[in-house]
């Protein structure tokens, strides 16, 4: 076994201990480093920079040369071994697959319906009101007829917002504060008016449509796929690997290579090692 130092053969990054342990009887650390590189080459993950040093070592080390052949045989055996097949699990696991969509679609349809109802309420109020102002009972510079027009305009606007939100769901979140404030203020005032006998319960009941629309908007907005961090596995939170980023590589910036140590070459297509 050669005791010659392999010139220029770098030690494996992050594993200074690798070379000493777990290779009983393999001799000096050079052999372990050499074999690690040989092993990587078998997987198409070799580092071309280390290649010359490894070749130089192989010329002087028959043990490593023999090891390379044995390792190649083991690799070939592994890859040509009959593939073990597990049972088909589709039917067993499918019940736990997300079914969010159906509920979400239901909520969107319901929201659109509520929007249409709200629009109808608005139009009905408008038709009933047009031309009925009598000029009495001014309030804040407008007579009751004009107050009615303003109310009708609001009802129409909210109905349209529900229908639009059911279609373009991404805009719903922006609508929620407006709706929320409107409903809270309206609920408090309606309560006071009801207590004071200033409004018929029937009229207040029409506001329930708004409330239902608000709840549905909330449901649709919340059921949208969230933008939080990925789930538990450490791998997801681990160092971002520039290579093999797959389909999302266009969406996410590639990690800097500097902190990754040796970056593996792209894996060449499988070839037989024999």
**Other beta carbons within 10 Å of 67:** 19
Q: Which is nearer to another protein, 132 or 270 (CB)?
A: 270
Q: Which is nearer to another protein, 7 or 102 (CB)?
A: 102
| Listed residue (55, 62, 66, 70) closest to 2, CA to CA | 62
Q: Which is nearer to another protein, 1 or 274 (CB)?
A: 274
Q: Which is nearer to another protein, 23 or 183 (CB)?
A: 23
Q: How far is the CB of 52 from another protein (least distance, A)?
A: 19
Q: Which is nearer to another protein, 192 or 274 (CB)?
A: 274
Cα radius of gyration rounded to whole Å, the chain: 36
Q: Which is nearer to another protein, 57 or 118 (CB)?
A: 57
User: How far, in Å, CA of 117 to CA of 213, rounded?
Assistant: 10
User: How far, in Å, CA of 231 to CA of 247, rounded?
Assistant: 19
User: How far, in Å, CA of 94 to CA of 91, rounded?
Assistant: 6
| Listed residue (259, 169, 144) closest to 222, CA to CA | 169
Q: Which is nearer to another protein, 79 or 207 (CB)?
A: 79
CA distances from 117 to 173, 194, 207, 213, 225 (A): 21, 23, 11, 10, 28
Specify whether the CB–CB gap between 100 and 223 falls below 8 A.
yes
Q: How far is the CB of 54 from another protein (least distance, A)?
A: 12
Residues 6+ apart with CB under 8 A from 21: none
Instruction: Provide the CA 246 distance to its chain's centre, in angstroms.
Output: 15
Token digits for 29? Answer: 């650390």
Q: How far is the CB of 207 from another protein (least distance, A)?
A: 33
Q: How far is the CB of 134 from another protein (least distance, A)?
A: 55
């Amino acid at each position: 076994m050669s005791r010659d130092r392999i010139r220029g053969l770098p030690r494996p990054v992050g594993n200074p201990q690798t070379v000493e342990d777990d290779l009983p009887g393999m001799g000096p650390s050079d052999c372990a480093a050499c074999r690690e590189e040989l092993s990587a080459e078998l997987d198409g993950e070799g580092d071309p920079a280390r290649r010359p040093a490894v070749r130089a070592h192989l010329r002087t080390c028959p043990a490593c040369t023999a090891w390379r052949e044995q390792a190649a045989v083991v690799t070939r055996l592994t890859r040509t071994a009959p593939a073990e097949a597990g049972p088909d699990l589709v039917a067993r696991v499918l019940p736990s697959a997300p079914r969010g969509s159906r509920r979400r679609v239901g909520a969107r349809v319901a929201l659109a319906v509520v929007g249409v109802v709200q629009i109808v309420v608005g139009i009905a109020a408008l038709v009933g009101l047009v031309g009925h102002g009598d000029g009495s009972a001014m309030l804040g510079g407008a007579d009751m007829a004009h107050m009615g027009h303003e109310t009708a305009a609001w009802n129409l606007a909210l109905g349209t917002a529900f229908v639009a939100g059911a279609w373009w769901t991404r805009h719903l979140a922006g609508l929620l504060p407006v709706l929320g404030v409107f409903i809270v203020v309206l609920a408090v005032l309606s309560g006071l008016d009801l207590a004071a006998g200033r409004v018929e319960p029937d009229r207040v009941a029409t506001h329930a449509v708004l409330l239902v629309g608000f709840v549905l908007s909330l449901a649709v907005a919340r059921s949208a796929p969230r933008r939080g961090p990925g789930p538990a596995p450490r791998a997801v939170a681990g160092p971002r690997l520039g290579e093999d980023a797959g389909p999302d590589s266009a969406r996410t910036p590639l990690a800097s290579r500097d902190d990754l140590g040796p970056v593996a070459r792209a894996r060449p297509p499988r070839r037989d090692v024999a």
